[in-house]
């Protein structure tokens, strides 16, 4: 058996399991699932959630393995990837240093910690910085292309 047939069989098994779990949920019904969930019983939905998590983990691991194998075949690609990872780390550091955290009450009565608040602000600042860099590079290279003509 070659690898493609093995992958097809595994996908078919996952698909069949997903269909079985879905039909089980549909067969039980919304009201019964809500009643069971209110008492803390998630037995009907848990297998489908666990299957989804397992498929996600498998997809992420396989993607990382093949990406790293592809990078390892070429020193130039690896150098470029490490350079971009370093640039991303610098942008993260700049955004983190510019952020400050404040304990924030949330709608459900919980309190977001100062550290959590700082990381949220860091994510927003990173989004803004990366957006500005992307737009700036598009404008720069577009103008450069127009000037060359």
Mean pLDDT of 110-124: 92
Tell whether the model's pLDDT for residue 1 goes beyond 80: no
Q: What is the pLDDT at residue 50?
A: 92
Q: What is the pLDDT at residue 54?
A: 94
Q: What percent of the chain has pLDDT over 70?
A: 100
Among 23-32, 118-127, 137-146, the least confident range: 23-32
Instruction: Please write the tens of the pLDDT for every residue from 19-59.
Output: 999 998 888 888 888 888 888 888 888 888 999 999 999 99
Higher pLDDT, 138 or 67: 138
Instruction: Please write the tens of the pLDDT for every residue from 77-105.
Output: 888 888 999 999 999 999 999 999 888 88
SS (H, E, C) the chain: CCHHHHHHHHHHHHHHHHHHHHHHHHHHCHHHHHHHHHCCCCCCCHHHHHHHHHHHHHHHHHHHHHHHHHHHHCHHHHHHHHHHHHHHHHHHHHHHHHCCCCCEECCCCCEECHHHHHHHHHHHHHHHHHHHHHHHHHHHHHHHHHHHC
Give the pTM: 0.60
């Amino acid at each position: 058996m070659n690898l493609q047939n093995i992958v097809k069989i595994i996908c078919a098994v996952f698909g069949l399991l997903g269909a079985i779990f879905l039909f089980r949920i549909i067969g039980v019904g919304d009201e019964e699932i809500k009643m069971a969930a209110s008492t803390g019983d998630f037995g009907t939905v848990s297998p489908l959630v666990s299957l989804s998590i397992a498929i996600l983990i498998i997809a992420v691991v396989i993607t990382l393995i093949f990406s790293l194998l592809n990078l390892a075949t070429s020193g130039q690609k690896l150098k470029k990837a490490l350079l971009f990872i370093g640039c991303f780390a610098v942008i993260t550091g700049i955004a983190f240093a510019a952020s400050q955290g404040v304990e924030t009450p949330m709608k459900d009565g919980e309190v977001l910690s100062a550290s959590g608040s700082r990381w949220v602000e860091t994510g927003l600042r990173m989004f803004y910085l990366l957006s500005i860099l992307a737009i700036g590079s598009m404008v720069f290279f577009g103008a450069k292309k127009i000037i060359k003509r």
